[in-house]
Structure 1
Amino acid sequence: MEIVLSKILLQIRHQEDKLSSQMMRTSEEAYQMTLFLKEMLCSIKTKISQTGFTDGQQEIYFFKNIKPQILGKLIYYNKVFRIETTCPVSKGKIHQSYFENLLKTLKSEYKESICNEDFYRYYRADRTDRDHTYFRLGQINYHDGLTSGVFEIDISFSTYYDNKIAHIVANELLYSYILTKINPEENPDNILLNGEAKKDISWTNSQNALIELIYALYASNSISHGKIGIRKLALIFQVLFRTPLNDIHHSFHRMKTRAGSRTAFLDQLKLSLEEYMDKDL
């Protein structure tokens, strides 16, 4: 299932890169991504309804990891489309105020409906002890006092909590997007120089590989003598490669405890460089 997730994320990034290279407006790009992700989700839903899951662990992995990534980006791009098509002006103080108010609203929603929930703390702690309750179909407990959104989901394709993770993913992407609007110097159209700005530059390895590289540069104080925080450094790479990284702290926590080498990508970089050097001998 991890291989399946990697393929899905690669398909999404490929479509993002494809649309980005066409230099269309942000609103149109967001609209096209919304259609693409909606179709992807519908296709996966049809396949699962026909074949089901091989076991409980596969079901849990799907609703905890795969579906939320697709649905999260779908929610995100739909919100970006709505934001872009209702923005009153393209620049100036009103434009700045518009996005600053959006950021305030996003932070308020986060405090009121996300961060204080037990499930949010469960998810952020990378716990697995209640996965069988949160991420298997037919396990919804209405005595938990769930929000009314529980009555709007398709119970044959949602455990309710997969939707909650999707909204966490969407909000994190939206946060990065709004910051690039508030700070023009961090906008994808301005971070690169002149004619290079619209070239198809993308990260073609895994998200974990990029996060590993970012943390290595941060830990070694290799950029601005370590004066740039990890969040801003991650944002720079996201903008540069047009690759949302979701929750890098959560991913880094998993790297610290993963089996095998904890620096798998950096190890491979060293081998690749040495092999390249040997070609000139």
Structure 2
Amino acid sequence: MKSSLNNILIEIKEYEKKVSSETTNVIDESYRIATYLRELLNTIKKKILKDGFQDDKEEINFFRNIKPQVLGKLIYYNKVFRIETSCPVNNGKMYHSFFLNELEELKQEYKEHICNSDFYRYYRSRRTDRDCEYFMLGKINYHNGLNSFVFELDLSFSTYYDYKIARILANELLYTYLLEKTNSDKKTDFILQNPESVKDIFWTDSKNALIELTYALYVSGAISHGKIGIRKISLAFHILFRTPLGDIHHAFHRMKERTGSRTVFLDKLKLALEEYMDKDL
């Protein structure tokens, strides 16, 4: 069972890539992935309740490392869906103020409920001496003055602290997402160390060509071992080439419906490189 649970994290990553390439906006993407994660978590729960754990080590690993990853992403995508469906406009001052306010609320939650807690310091320091207390069923110590949310948990599938890790992971993802939203038009926040050295670098092909390249680099995992999202890659190109890509999901969706080759720019790159190689022969 241990190996199959670890494979869950790989499956989630593959599903995220699949949905990202099929959807045209963040709302659809976050809704589909949240639905998938909710169903996945329910399936895992049924399996755990039926089969249990082989030993204490497997139980601790599940509640410390496996379940929080799934639940954390579920919390994250559900929050993104709620934020995007509440956003008043698509651009401008109201749009920017809306996401700034969401970012401030996230920072406040972090200060009040996360960063000063003993458990947060325990988790961040990678200690394991209290794992039997934190990550095994039936070990909750109510004398610690826990959040009242503990009374709403299904204690046959939660140690309470697995949920706390999930919130930490979700908040980290939300922080990155909200930073991108609030800083996407603030190039000074991402200024290169020597802007004069790159002022003559600009994109001269079509915007769709750059989007095609962006997706190719994303799905191939060629950047940061595939651990960063498509929006962060597109933002990097936006900054480097001073070319805003807009709604890349919608543009990519149109590319999939092209007649003939769907990878026109990548085909052109391959041909150009091969011709250049032939000149050296």
Per the TM alignment, residue 22 of structure 1 is displaced from its structure 2 partner at its CA by 1.5
Q: Which residue of 1 aligns with 2:103?
A: 103
Give the 3 Å change call, closer, same or farther, for CA 88–237 of structure 1 in structure 2: closer
Q: Which residue of 2 aligns with 1:264?
A: none
CA contact (8 A) 2:6 2:66 kept: no
Q: Which residue of 1 aligns with 2:154?
A: 154
Give the 3 Å change call, closer, same or farther, for CA 173–119 of structure 1 in structure 2: same
In the alignment, the residues of structure 1 paired with residue 16 and residue 229 of structure 2 have an alpha-carbon distance, to the nearest angstrom, of 18
CA contact (8 A) 2:60 2:136 kept: yes
State the TM-score, normalized to the length of structure 1: 0.70
CA contact (8 A) 1:67 1:162 kept: yes
Q: Which residue of 2 aligns with 1:194?
A: 208
Write the mapping of 1:1-281 to structure 2, written as runs, cut at 5 A.
Answer: 3-4=3-4, 6-184=6-184, 194-197=208-211, 199=215, 201-202=217-218, 210=225, 239-240=232-233
Per the TM alignment, residue 24 of structure 1 is displaced from its structure 2 partner at its CA by 2.0
| Ranges in structure 1 where 5+ consecutive residues have no aligned partner | 212-233, 243-281
Deviates more, 1:113-122 or 1:9-18: 9-18
The one-letter amino acid paired with 2:72 is: G
State the TM-score, normalized to the length of structure 2: 0.70
In the alignment, the residues of structure 1 paired with residue 57 and residue 87 of structure 2 have an alpha-carbon distance, to the nearest angstrom, of 44
In the alignment, the residues of structure 2 paired with residue 241 and residue 158 of structure 1 have an alpha-carbon distance, to the nearest angstrom, of 38
CA-to-aligned-CA distance 1:61-93 (integer Å, 9 cap, x gap): 000000000000000000000000000001001
CA contact (8 A) 1:202 1:241 kept: no
Secondary structure of 2:218's match? coil
The one-letter amino acid paired with 1:180 is: E
Q: What is the Cα-based RMSD across aligned positions, in Å? A: 2.9
Higher relative contact order (CA 8 A, sep 6+): 2
- Identity level (%): 52
In the alignment, the residues of structure 1 paired with residue 157 and residue 229 of structure 2 have an alpha-carbon distance, to the nearest angstrom, of 36
| Ranges in structure 2 where 5+ consecutive residues have no aligned partner | 188-205, 236-281
CA contact (8 A) 1:71 1:166 kept: yes
Q: Which runs of 4+ in 1 moved over 6 A?
A: 234-238
CA contact (8 A) 1:139 1:159 kept: yes
Per the TM alignment, residue 202 of structure 1 is displaced from its structure 2 partner at its CA by 3.4
